[in-house]
Amino acid sequence: MYQRVSTEIYIQGFKNGKGHGIEASRVLDAFGKQASDQKGGFFGLVYDDLNSCDFTLSEENGLVTGVCIFRPCAHADLYLSIFELLKIGPYAAFTPGSISPVFVRPEVRADMPEDMAQAIGEPLQVQNAGDIPIALFG
């Protein structure tokens, strides 16, 4: 499977080329019972002794427009949570080294800023959670 890497996964929400999102409660629900309470601005995700990571939320006007997952682990449930976020919100996910941002909902591609595709590559629609780490990390 995938190794834990020292990088981040960014999940950004868009509508008409600008930041947009969904309520924090829905974002946290996507991470399920693995998400711990916020401490110092960070939420924890613990799947087992070898798989854990932290994340933060960025909010605008009461909506989560961004999620940053620090040092993403290899556990499949993390990618199931990311896939759920991409399904329920106007989000695309990418990493600092991504060839392309990934999305699930077709309208997200149309709502992304054009310069984003120019900067980090043409967005790729994923069909399932297993596609996400492959698309983001190769």
Residues 129/80, Cβ–Cβ less than 8 Å = yes
| Confidence check: pLDDT of 1 > 80 | no
Only one residue has tokens 């043409």, namely 122
Q: Residues 58-108: pLDDT tens digits?
A: 999 999 999 999 999 999 999 999 999 999 999 999 999 777 899 999 999
Domains of the chain, each with CATH number or no CATH: 8-131 (3.30.310)
Q: How many residues does the chain have?
A: 138
5 confidence band (pLDDT: 50, 70, 90): low
User: Token digits for 90?
Assistant: 């106007």
Q: What are phi and psi of 123, to 5 degrees?
A: -60, 150
| Confidence check: pLDDT of 2 > 80 | no
Between 116 and 24, where is the model more confident?
Answer: 24
